[in-house]
C-alpha cells in the first residue's frame, strides 16, 4: 500500500512501536491536509470577505513599512 501513502506510517509504526498504544503521525499527510483545508476555506469565502482581507493585509504591510 505504499502507492497510497501508507508506507511511511505503517513502517514507522511497526518499527518504532513499543506497545504503549501511541499512534504514528504521518507528517507529510498532515501538512498536505493543512494546505488542502486552508485552500478550501479561502475558496469558500465570499468575494467581499476576500476583498476586505486583501485590503487589511495591504494596510498592515503599509503600517509595518512606516514602523521600520
Q: Give tens-digit pLDDT for 45-57.
A: 999 999 999 999 9
- DSSP code of 1? -
Rg of the chain in Å (alpha carbons): 21
Cell of 14: 511497526
Distance between CA atoms of residues 54 and 65, nearest Å: 17
What pLDDT score was predicted for residue 11?
Answer: 56
What pLDDT was estimated at residue 65? 92
Residue 7 and residue 29: Cα distance in Å, rounded? 12
Per-residue pLDDT of the chain (68 residues), as tens digits, is 556 665 655 555 555 555 555 677 788 888 899 999 999 999 999 999 999 999 999 999 999 999 88
Residue keyed to cell 486552508 = 38
Q: In angstroms, how far is CA 9 from the centroid of its own chain?
A: 18
Amino acid at each position: 500500500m505504499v502507492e497510497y501513502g501508507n508506507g511511511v506510517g505503517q513502517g514507522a509504526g511497526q518499527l518504532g512501536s513499543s506497545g504503549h498504544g501511541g499512534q504514528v503521525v504521518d507528517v507529510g499527510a498532515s501538512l498536505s491536509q493543512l494546505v488542502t483545508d486552508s485552500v478550501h476555506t479561502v475558496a469558500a469565502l465570499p468575494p467581499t470577505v476576500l476583498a476586505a482581507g486583501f485590503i487589511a493585509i495591504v494596510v498592515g504591510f503599509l503600517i509595518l513599512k512606516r514602523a521600520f
